[in-house]
Amino acid sequence: GAVVSQHPSWVICKSGTSVKIECRSLDFQATTMFWYRQFPKQSLMLMATSNEGSKATYEQGVEKDKFLINHASLTLSTLTVTSAHPEDSSFYICSARAQTGNTIYFGEGSWLTVV
Amino acid sequence: LAKTTQPISMDSYEGQEVNITCSHNNIATNDYITWYQQFPSQGPRFIIQGYKTKVTNEVASLFIPADRKSSTLSLPRVSLSDTAVYYCLVGDYNQAGTALIFGKGTTLSVSS
């Protein structure tokens, strides 16, 4: 199946700093990418939807100035957590939808720990 | 997006067939039904997708009745490694921007 890769797999950062997570579609062009966060033993929560070349659409309650999403090309989207705080510690997962077809594929996820 | 309802948890033994049913009473005409599997600390993995009747691949079967208001994921002869959370999702993902909204999923526990 299609491959979506996230980097880094895990990252530790200090409170107040910013951290960037990359999401790449390796073998297909993704017009739309989605970002989720997941707390332990909970389901995935959609944070935002990004379409290539346009601004991301954020879900209610997600701070767009804190979680910056960029989708500059058809194979790359980035999530930047700005001024991170310990409560931002979570598992962040991206997914991508190909230009054709009805299937969405997920990355491996990225663990963020803010200390 | 159609809301889905699944059992919170299921238990099984190795070698048994497991059937997980999902209800989606408000499914729309253009909606597809997709199932994902998720292991701890991993992203969800696509299992199978269907629109109507029956779909089968190398890992699972998906049964969808004529009214499409429910679907059943069938896992033949499960093993310990099938212990995971299974999510049923419904939507027309050909529509740009249509996101997958996850419910609570079904936690399947397989014992020896």
Question: Can you spell out the DSSP letters for A33-46?
Answer: EEEEEE-TTS--EE
- pLDDT tier for residue B1 given thresholds of 50, 70 and 90: low
Rounded to whole angstroms, the Cα distance separating A112 from A103 reads: 27
Tell me the pLDDT tens digit for each residue of B44-92: 999 999 999 999 999 999 999 999 999 999 999 999 999 999 999 998 8
Closest-CA residue of chain A to B32? A102
Chain mean pLDDT for chain A = 92
* Nearest chain B residue to A94, by CA: B43
Token digits of residue B82: 């099938």
Interchain contact, B41 vs A49, CB within 8 Å: no
Lowest mean pLDDT, pick from A98-107, B30-39, B59-68, B103-112: A98-107
Q: How many CB pairs under 8 A join A and B?
A: 62
Q: CB distance A103–B99 less than 8 Å?
A: no
Phi-psi region of A5 (alpha: psi -120 to 50; beta: other; left: phi over 0): beta
CB contact under 8 A, B42 and A4: no
